[in-house]
Structure 1
Amino acid sequence: MFNPNMYGFAEIDTSGLVKLMESGQIDLIDVRSEGEVAYGIIDGARHIPLHLLPLKASEMDRNAAQVYYCRTGARSAQACAFMAAQGHKQCYNLQGGIMAWMQSGQGLGRSA
């Protein structure tokens, strides 16, 4: 399923994310700002703002499947490229971000 692009990460759509979530084999990371997260977060995700990701990268499992998302997919693509460059093996970017997630009929939880 993992088919990386030239930057070392793969794109995943909302249905692919649902399947990965059902398997329980992913680390779902929201890279949006605090203000954006206040409106809701995908259930099961943890919040690591993009600007803090370099500080957290060494604490994360390099071999785990990691799905990153933001509002539209642009910042999370940056996160994926960065993490892939740090040696993380399975980085996925949610195509269309949380906007696509909501448009597909999926719900949001509240941030902790």
Structure 2
Amino acid sequence: MKRITAKELNQKLTSGEEVNIIDVREDNEVAEGKIPGAKHIPLGELEERLDEIDKDQHHYVTCNAGRRGSKASGILSLKGYDVTNMEDGMSKWEGKTE
């Protein structure tokens, strides 16, 4: 499984790189702030909402500490998606949030 740290992903964003981010945290966690532009799909809804994820693009997956993101990345990889898990999650995010 491909991995990236919160710091590395933030560097991609601040350098202007276009990235697709999927946040698999629960609603109450996302309400505290998410990475700008991230698509919110709770882990429990992921498989039923696959049609919302472009299979032709690379995606970064985040959660709070990395475990749910790892699980989501595994699910998406098995379904043929190109994904990278943000291994340390939003608990280590120091960039902007919305």
TM-score (norm. length: structure 1): 0.78
Q: Which moved more, 1:55-64 or 1:33-42?
A: 55-64
The answer to whether residue 92 in structure 2 is matched with residue 107 in structure 1 is no
SS at the partner of 2:20? Answer: strand
1:94 is aligned, of 78, 83, 86, to: 86
Q: How does 1:20-31 map to 2 (within 5 A)?
A: 20-21=12-13, 22-24=16-18, 26-31=19-24
In structure 1, what residue type is equivalent to 2:39?
R
In structure 2, what residue type is equivalent to 1:33?
E
Change in Cα spacing, 1:65 to 1:19, as seen in structure 2 (3 Å) is farther
Question: What RMSD in Å do the two structures reach over aligned CA positions?
Answer: 1.4
What stretches of structure 1 of length at least 5 have no aligned partner? 1-8
Question: Over alpha carbons, which structure has the higher Rg?
Answer: 1
Q: How does 1:1-112 map to 2 (within 5 A)?
A: 9-21=1-13, 22-24=16-18, 26-88=19-81, 90-101=82-93, 105-109=94-98
Residue identity (%): 29
| Cα deviations by residue, 1:35-64 (Å, 9 ceiling, x for unpaired) | 111111111111100011101113422231
Whether the 8 Å CA contact 2:10–2:95 is kept in 1: the answer is no
Cα drift, residue 19 of structure 1: 4.1
Query: Between Structure 1 and Structure 2, how many residues are aligned?
Result: 96
Cα drift, residue 108 of structure 1: 1.6
What stretches of structure 2 of length at least 5 have no aligned partner? none
Structure 1 runs (4+) greater than 2 angstroms displaced? 18-22
Change in Cα spacing, 1:59 to 1:41, as seen in structure 2 (3 Å) is closer
